[in-house]
Chain A
Amino acid sequence: MGSDVASPIRPPDQLGPARPDADPDASFERFYRTHVDRIHRALALATGDVGLAREAADEAMARAYARWDRIQKLDNPAGWVFRVGLNWATSWWRKVRRERPPAPDDSDAPAAGPDPVGMAARSALDQLPTAQRAVIVCRVLLDLSTAETAAVLDLTEGTVKSRLSRGLAGLRTALAEKE
């Protein structure tokens, strides 16, 4: 048992702090290219809205870029970006700020090939409360430990375990109903 299922969306490196670099632009670019797709997909699952997730990922990455000298020294910069993106996406104020210019939308290529199992899993995940989805996403997609998930989502470890347990039970039930 464990969460270390091999997956194409997992980047080759881990989520630990990036090594401070003499060239911050290059350092950020490496971080961005390594993590943005996974964070985007994690946000899409957590929020249930692909368009919103894309904008949230861009907003969070822009904030990280603006203060990269500090963010790159964090224990978990990708977790920070995910948290900022999730907060931004679920913030009430986003409703107001939506008039701000979105990033050019030039990459709406569909995911490779229809995967009925994946679609069913996504539909099952969508049935879970947002809070449980966020925990599952952190633990599985971002590969965070319970303690790291607690730090990213500002929860106690007990709450993370509880939400994970309930979320996984709900996911299993929902998947069974779809079979």
Chain B
Amino acid sequence: MDAVPDDLAEAVHRAARTTPPHGSDLAAVRRRARAGRRRRSAATAGGLALFVALAAGAVPLLAGNAPAPTSRPAATSAVPAAPSSPSPTWTPPAQRLVMTVDPARHGPGEDLPFLPVEEVLADGSVRRHPVPENFSLGAALPDGRLVGLVYTDLLPGSPRADGPDVEGLSIKLVVLGADGALERSREVRIKGQGVELIGADQRVAYLARDTGIVTHDLATGRERMLLRSSTAGVDLLTASRTDVRPDLLVEQRDDDGCRTDVRRTADGVRIARLTVGGVCENGLRLAPDGALVAVPYRRLDQSRDRREQRLAVFDTATGALRTDQAIGNPAMTPGAVHGVAWSDDLTVRVAWTGLPVNAGRDVGVDALVREVTTVRVQ
């Protein structure tokens, strides 16, 4: 059907008219735009530099309201354009592959409670980690710990407007041990400011705040500015996706296509801008040595009228594209990418979901097939 019957169109228009008018507060919109601009100051972006470093990054996470599928082994699928065999360095992988289900794609999505953390192990099996209620994972550390934020409504049932001074909201940074035991729990909310957990390593968590990216010492809670938004010349808190290491930051903005900027944390200078012809997927992730970055994205194959999941890998120092290949399965209707992790400096695993092409139209999340594709960068 491509036309809308008049009676239904009229019903939709009448439904729309039940919404109170917006009010047309143009001044508020301009204030909002200026507030964003203030965070970008005169810093110069651009230039080129070379750059190598250590330590693992962390994958930004999604959470969702759909019930998690029961654990089932994730398969390793062949990748035609590159060798796909797991390397001998898979145990243990440099980065842990955790996955969630994006409710915006597969569920009603009106509310977004949190999912358990599920990890795809090196042998393809899936392990579900026990986590506290309302835990939102920020990083799975190589030593088995999980770092995340726990959001708590301290005034449940009390309706109140969102805003900088909203009462009764707690945001705690939580570290769980490899056995699931609570190791740390610390309030990180600053009233009136936004906060996001964008990654962690063995020593610190990386938080995006209004002023920029700060390191938060896991042991002491002490915070230090890593990169000011004003230095970078861009509001780092408003990036769509971010991954960070002590010396390197990658951030995506996808209002206008899929664009990834690579910046030095030392001075905020953008050393590369990476673009792909599609829409960014979640899972932007730096390789353990920082030399490469994996950019999952999807694009429309108009000739076949279907969506395609792909992974591009770029050299962070030069911006050169190292590989760009499909990661889905032609027998599947692509769902979404749910996790990306580097097994070593050249091997990246991508956890994704799809639906059998012949699946019914109104299938639940349990029907999703989850697979892992391994891409080896030459």
Q: In the complex, how many angstroms separate the beta carbon of B241 from the nearest chain A beta carbon?
A: 9
Task: Evaluate whether A92 and B194 lie within 8 angstroms (CB atoms) in the complex, with A103-B28, A118-B18 already known.
Answer: no
Contact check: which of A40, A63, A70, A92 meets B62 at CB < 8 Å? A92
User: When the two chains form their complex, are residues A109 and B21 in contact, meaning their CB atoms are under 8 A apart?
Assistant: yes
The answer to whether the Cβ of A78 comes within 8 Å of any Cβ in the partner chain is no
Neighbouring B residues of A9 by C-beta, 8 Å: 13, 16-17
Evaluate contact between A168 and B300: CB separation under 8 angstroms: no
Contacts of B306 in A (CB 8 A): 156, 158
CB 8 Å contact bits of B162-179 with A (1 = contact, 0 = none):
111010010100000000
B36 in contact (CB, < 8 A): yes
Chain A positions 18-71 with a Cβ under 8 Å from a chain B Cβ: 29, 32-33, 36-37, 40-42, 44-45, 47-51, 53-55, 57-59, 61-63, 65-66, 70
A99-151 with Cβ < 8 A to chain B: 99-112, 115, 117-119, 121-122, 124-125, 129-130, 136-137, 139-141, 146
A115 to B18, CA, bound (A): 7
Please, which residues of chain A bring their CB within 8 A of the CB of B11? 117, 121, 124, 171, 175
Q: Does B19 contact A (CB under 8 A)?
A: yes
Residues A50 and B161 in contact in the complex (CB < 8 Å), given A59-B32, A124-B11, A171-B11: no
Whether B23 lies near A7 (C-beta < 8 A) is no
Residue from B6, B13, B24, B109 within 8 A of A37 (CB atoms):
B24
A168 contacts B19, C-beta separation under 8 Å: no
Contacts A51-B161, A108-B20 given; does A158 touch B28 at CB 8 Å: no
Q: Which B residues lie within 8 Å of A129 (CB)?
A: 108
Give the shortest distance, in Å, between B26 (CB) and chain A (any CB): 5
Is the beta-carbon distance between A5 and B22 smaller than 8 angstroms? no
- Say whether A57 contacts B12, CB under 8 Å: no
Q: Is the CB of B15 within 8 A of A122?
A: yes
With contacts A37-B22, A99-B192 taken as known, whether A111 is within 8 angstroms of B17 at the C-beta atoms is: yes
Q: Contact at B194–A99, with CB atoms within 8 Å?
A: yes
From residue 206 to 255 of chain B, which have CB atoms closer than 8 A to chain A? 237-238, 240, 255
Contact A119-B25, Cβ < 8 Å, known A97-B194, A168-B8: no
B237 partner residues in chain A, CB cutoff 8 A: 97
Check if A2 sits within 8 Å of B33, measured CB to CB. no
Closest approach, in angstroms, between the C-beta of B244 and any C-beta of chain A?
15
Given A32-B26, A45-B16, also A2-B3 (CB < 8 A)? yes
Supposing A99-B162, A141-B12, A154-B300 touch, asked if A110 and B29 sit within 8 A by C-beta, the answer is: no
CB within 8 Å for A41 and B16 given contacts A84-B255, A168-B1: yes
Asked if A3 meets B9 with Cβ closer than 8 Å, knowing A45-B19, A115-B14, the reply is yes
Nearest to B28 among chain A residues (CB) is: A103
Chain A residues with CB under 8 A of B79: none
- Which chain A residue shows the least CB distance to B190? A99
Interchain CA distance A1-B22 in the complex, whole Å: 30
Are the C-beta atoms of B16 and A65 separated by less than 8 Å? no
Q: Which residue of A lies closest to B63 (CB)?
A: A92
Number of interface residues of B (CB under 8 A): 70
When distances are taken between beta carbons in the complex, the residues of chain B under 8 Å from A164 are: 1-2, 4
Q: Are A121 and B108 in contact (CB under 8 A)?
A: no
Q: Which residue of B lies closest to A168 (CB)?
A: B8
- Pairwise interchain contact A101-B163, C-beta atoms closer than 8 A: yes
Known: A90-B109, A103-B32. A111 touches B305 (CB 8 A): no
B5 in the interface, Cβ–Cβ < 8 Å? yes
The answer to whether A106 and B4 touch (CB under 8 A), given A66-B36, A154-B279, is no
The answer for the CA separation of A141 and B15 in the assembled complex, in Å, is: 10
Residues B26 and A121 in contact, CB atoms below 8 Å apart: no
Q: A5-B10, A55-B162, A125-B12 are in contact. Are A111 and B18 (CB under 8 A)?
A: yes
Q: Which of B9, B19, B35, B238 contacts A40 (CB 8 A)?
A: B19
Q: How far is the CA of A66 from the CA of B194 in the complex (A)?
A: 20
Q: A165 to chain B: which residues have CB within 8 Å?
A: 1
Known: A65-B29, A139-B4. A100 touches B20 (CB 8 A): no
Residues of chain B lying within 8 A (CB to CB) of residue A118: 14-15, 17-18
Q: Are B26 and A33 in contact (CB under 8 A)?
A: yes
Closest to A66 in B: B33
Give the CA-CA distance A118 to B12 in the complex, in Å.
Answer: 8
Q: Does A73 contact B (CB under 8 A)?
A: no
- 19 A-B pairs with C-beta separation under 8 A: A32-B29, A33-B24, A41-B17, A48-B110, A50-B20, A59-B32, A62-B29, A90-B104, A91-B240, A92-B63, A96-B195, A98-B166, A110-B20, A111-B17, A118-B14, A118-B18, A140-B4, A171-B11, A175-B8
* Residue positions of A touching B, CB distance < 8 A: 1-5, 7-9, 29, 32-33, 36-37, 40-42, 44-45, 47-51, 53-55, 57-59, 61-63, 65-66, 70, 84, 90-93, 95-112, 115, 117-119, 121-122, 124-125, 129-130, 136-137, 139-141, 146, 154-158, 161-162, 164-166, 168, 171-172, 175
- Besides A96-B171, A168-B5, 16 other CB < 8 A contacts? A2-B4, A7-B17, A41-B17, A45-B12, A62-B33, A65-B30, A90-B109, A99-B164, A99-B189, A100-B164, A108-B20, A108-B23, A118-B14, A154-B300, A156-B307, A175-B8
